[in-house]
Amino acid sequence: MATVSTVNSDGTVDVTRAGDSYPSVRLLTGYLIPTVGDSVEIIKTAGGWVCVGRLQTVTPAPQWVSVSLVSGYTNNGNGNGTVQYRRIVDHGSVFIEWCGGMSWTTSGSPPNGGQFFTMPAAARPLSQRSVSAAAGGVPTKIDFRTAGECVIVPPSGVTTWCSVNGVRYRID
């Protein structure tokens, strides 16, 4: 048994086992959501070390992660709660799911060019994902970009809040 110490952006993980480090261990396709701290099994192959998957005794519920909104935004926009996301697997695909709402002070003009958060590497989509959301009484678009930017693209008439409740997009 080994423990994941780093999830690398190239699709590999670094693991430790019995005090030894194993960098850039490749993953089998069934190990969809590697996470630092996972207990895993690794095997040595002719091509190097391979992680066969996470060892699990109980299926944990995906954990919500509260985001640190950038300057100019506050949580609980329109009473929708704290902005949070979580990684989920649905029918073999990995998704990011959102809840909560944010607000800002100037009607029609979200601060920071609309960017409210930057996603960590493990939660970024492979290509841009554009989704609809409720904002200030009108539908709006949110772009989730490959570099991690989460950006509100406001239409005319938007006021001072945006809800991300129910927003979900595939990252694979």
Q: What is the pLDDT of residues 36-82, one digit of tens each?
A: 999 999 999 999 999 998 886 666 678 899 999 999 999 999 999 99
Whether 70 and 117 have beta carbons less than 8 Å apart is answered as: yes
Helices (runs of H) and strands (runs of E) counted in the chain: 0, 16
Picking from 121, 116, 102, 105, the residue whose alpha carbon sits closest to that of residue 152 is 116
The proportion of the chain whose per-residue pLDDT surpasses 90, expressed as a percent, equals: 70
Which residues, at least 6 apart from 77, have a Cβ–Cβ distance to it below 8 Å?
A: 100, 101, 102, 103, 160, 161, 162, 163
pLDDT bracket for residue 136 (50, 70, 90): confident
pLDDT of residue 57: 60
| Dihedral over Cα of 90, 96, 102, 107: its sign | negative
In terms of DSSP bridges, do strands 84-90 and 161-163 run parallel, antiparallel, or are they unpaired? Answer: unpaired
Phi, psi of 20, rounded to the nearest 5 degrees: -95, 145
Yes or no: say if 164 and 142 are a contact pair by the CB < 8 Å rule: yes
Q: How many Å apart are CA 110 and CA 150, to the nearest integer?
A: 12
